Homo-oligomer: A and B are copies of this chain.
């Protein structure tokens, strides 16, 4: 289990200021890049608080490969994970694993599962930082691929692995303040505490689950096993709905032109 103190990091980040990542003359601050300095800061604070337990996902992979220099085949390197679920979530593809060497280590990859990984005695906590310009309306951000999550749930059920992984989100709200960005508020949400039924899957946005962390339901009381089953039910129903909607909107209205 995680002994991560989320209140510590929430409080630590509140009222922090970072430099604007772009020139204030070069237009609007938007998208993921705008909040990046806060992400870096949260990572630094976590690393200081939990030395040896906080990694970027690629750092974690580099770390376990470097510590196990006799594991050189793809199979051996995969076996460094004692959890099929963690292997699925964090490992790179076979080719990347094969060509890894101390001279050719991994670097950040855009579709890595975790921004930040907390690891302690076979327990993994995925920590994603979501930064939010609160002066902009803005749609809820992409959280995680609904399909990746479905595969994860299937693996958890197949392997009876329910206690070794946690997925946590931190929202950092910020405003522009001259040459600085200022954090005005922070929030924590735990994915497995959200009733799966409340999750929104945006099929046309890379099948991403989308929510603002501060608005995430946290009412789930049942077991992790039940969560996995309930999530898969949600995922399948949502896929069915999407197909029905596609037929009605994208197929039927146009048939008369092509028949």
Chain B residues, Cβ within 8 Å of A250: 147, 150, 207, 235-236, 239
Contacting residue for A206 out of B27, B150, B204, CB 8 A = B204
Contact: B206 with A235, CB < 8 Å? no
Contact: A257 with B157, CB < 8 Å? yes
Chain B residues, Cβ within 8 Å of A229: 257-258
Chain B residues, Cβ within 8 Å of A153: 257
Chain B residues, Cβ within 8 Å of A232: 254, 257-258
Q: How long is the Cα–Cα vector from A208 to B21 in the complex, in angstroms?
A: 29
Task: Count A-side interface residues using an 8 Å CB cutoff.
Answer: 38
Total copies of the chain: 2
Q: Is the interface of A mostly helix, strand, loop or mixed?
A: helix
Chain B residues, Cβ within 8 Å of A150: 250, 254
Q: How long is the Cα–Cα vector from A236 to B147 in the complex, in angstroms?
A: 24
Per CB-CB distance, the 7 closest pairs between chain A and chain B, nearest first, are A239-B250, A233-B258, A243-B243, A232-B257, A232-B254, A239-B251, A22-B22
What residues of chain A have their CB less than 8 Å away from a CB belonging to chain B? 21-23, 26-27, 31, 33, 36, 147, 150, 153-154, 157, 203-207, 228-229, 232-233, 235-236, 239-240, 242-243, 246-247, 249-251, 253-255, 257-258
Can you name 17 A-B residue pairings with CB atoms under 8 Å? Answer: A21-B22, A21-B26, A22-B26, A23-B23, A27-B36, A150-B254, A157-B257, A203-B204, A204-B204, A204-B205, A207-B250, A228-B257, A232-B254, A235-B254, A239-B247, A239-B250, A243-B246
